[in-house]
Amino acid sequence: MEKKVLLAENQPEFGAGFELALTMSPADVVFIVRDSGIKGRGGAGFPTGIKWNLAGAASSDVKYVVCNADEGEPGTFKDRILLEKYSERLLEGMAIGGYAIGSSHGIIYLRAEYPYLIPAIKEARKNMINRGFLGKNIGGKGFDFDVEIRIGAGAYICGEETSLIESLEGKSGYPRNKPPFPVNSGYLNKPTIVNNVETFCNIPHIVLNGPEWYADLGIGDCSGTKLFSISGNVEKPGVYELPLGAPLKDLLELAGAGDIQAVQVGGASGRTIPASEIHRSLSFGDLPPGGSVIVFDSTVNMLEVLENFMEFFVHESCGQCVPCREGTLQLMNAVDDLICGDICCREDLDNCFRLAEVMRITSKCGLGQTAVNCFVDIINNFVDFTDECLSEECCCERGDQ
């Protein structure tokens, strides 16, 4: 079942949550966010309240509130919808974040593929300024806050928060070593919170309705609702809002998925599961709820899907660390060998699975650590080796074993 908060027909007035936040102490705002249990909506799932608490406690005259609008995970387009229709809510959430941690400077890092959203964001900013929610001495509280837009230049890795910060600093988007964490040393080495578009959009609702209300929206241990972008072989692709923790099958029903061979949850870096597992829940403890869901029907050759994803990772690996740079290439070559029949039994892939494990453990950032998921899942669940072995080029018959 859908449960709409961010996409609800009847929305609280823009700015109402911010006005309420301004009547509280910054620390109380942080506690409300913490108590709501909201975790980062970009997919990593770090508790937002803890992030804000750390940044709030960091001592510095200058701090930054950064919105990660570098939505690049294949199959994800939920933030595009939020930026198109709810930019004012986003700016409101960022302003609350600024008040909570003591920052007067917000930056939206928008992916280069979304330049057509800039007018909507600029319009929202103008409206917020006109109504006194952005600018100097907001609400007579001596609090200043404004937001600037920065555009990326086409790099998936810049969705990783330290890469994003490097990019904001005008550099190549190589991930940084952690620690120090951005909450202590982020943009220009100042304390910085980086949150996803959807996370910021939730904040005004949390402030207005209280942390218990938000926690109760989710199912089980999960707090709040979540936006999911669904595409592939479904009747009604689009963005749907469900309670976090809802079973995947609810989303599939809403989008009109019929014939299901496989569902990829969480994008190319997420998990690929067979139809028999669609009862599982979309939550940080189970199927990754980053936002992307792609459905593949029984006509789809999953090896070709895997090839497409491995090409993606080879292209998008930033090249900084060896396991990811070389590993993605080796796995892509293995997929090509599978497709042309040079590899046709599981045993031949043992080295690849070992490599995948090494990449998962030793890659510097999430890209290399999760790039192996689609390889492992698709090979394990969707490749029928007995059929392949019938080919004349089979390695078993060549005596390669």
Partner 1 sequence: MPRNPEEIVADGIREFGEGREKVLQLLNKVNEELSWIPTAAINAIAQATGISVAEVYSVVSFYSFFSTEPRGRNIVRLCSTISCAMTGQREILEALMDEFGIEPFETTDDGRLTIETTPCIGLCDQAPAMLVNGEPHVKLTPEKACEIVRGLG
Q: Which residues bind partner 1 (CB under 8 A)?
A: 71-77, 79-80, 111-116, 150-156, 167-173, 188, 229-233, 237-239, 268, 294, 296, 300, 305, 308-309, 312, 315-316, 318
Minimum CB distance to partner 1, residue 336 (Å): 16
Minimum CB distance to partner 1, residue 106 (Å): 15
Nearer to partner 1, 315 or 398 (CB): 315
Minimum CB distance to partner 1, residue 60 (Å): 17
Q: Are strands 143-151 and 105-110 parallel, antiparallel or unpaired?
A: parallel
Minimum CB distance to partner 1, residue 150 (Å): 7
Q: Is omega for the bond preceding 47 within 30 degrees of 0, making it cis?
A: no
- For residue 189, the tally of other CB atoms under 10 A from its CB is 14
- Two structure tokens written together for 243: 């309670």
Nearer to partner 1, 190 or 205 (CB): 190
Give the CA distances from residue 95 to residues 7, 101, 193, in Å, rounded to whole numbers and listed in that order: 20, 10, 12
Minimum CB distance to partner 1, residue 228 (Å): 11
Nearer to partner 1, 285 or 319 (CB): 319
Nearer to partner 1, 27 or 188 (CB): 188
- The answer for residues whose C-beta is within 8 angstroms of residue 129's C-beta and 6 or more apart is 135, 146
Nearer to partner 1, 54 or 62 (CB): 62
Minimum CB distance to partner 1, residue 232 (Å): 6
- For residue 185, the tally of other CB atoms under 10 A from its CB is 18
Nearer to partner 1, 230 or 246 (CB): 230
Nearer to partner 1, 115 or 180 (CB): 115
- The answer for residues whose C-beta is within 8 angstroms of residue 175's C-beta and 6 or more apart is 157, 160, 162, 163, 166, 318, 320, 364, 365, 367
Minimum CB distance to partner 1, residue 33 (Å): 27
Minimum CB distance to partner 1, residue 140 (Å): 30
Minimum CB distance to partner 1, residue 26 (Å): 27
Nearer to partner 1, 178 or 315 (CB): 315
Nearer to partner 1, 73 or 160 (CB): 73
Report which of 28, 60, 73, 68 is spatially closest to residue 312, judged by C-alpha positions.
73
Minimum CB distance to partner 1, residue 399 (Å): 36
Q: What are phi and psi of 225, to 5 degrees?
A: -105, 175
Nearer to partner 1, 65 or 318 (CB): 318
Report which of 14, 8, 376, 9 is spatially closest to residue 208, judged by C-alpha positions.
14
- Two structure tokens written together for 64: 């930054």
Report which of 99, 25, 21 is spatially closest to residue 55, judged by C-alpha positions.
99
Nearer to partner 1, 41 or 80 (CB): 80
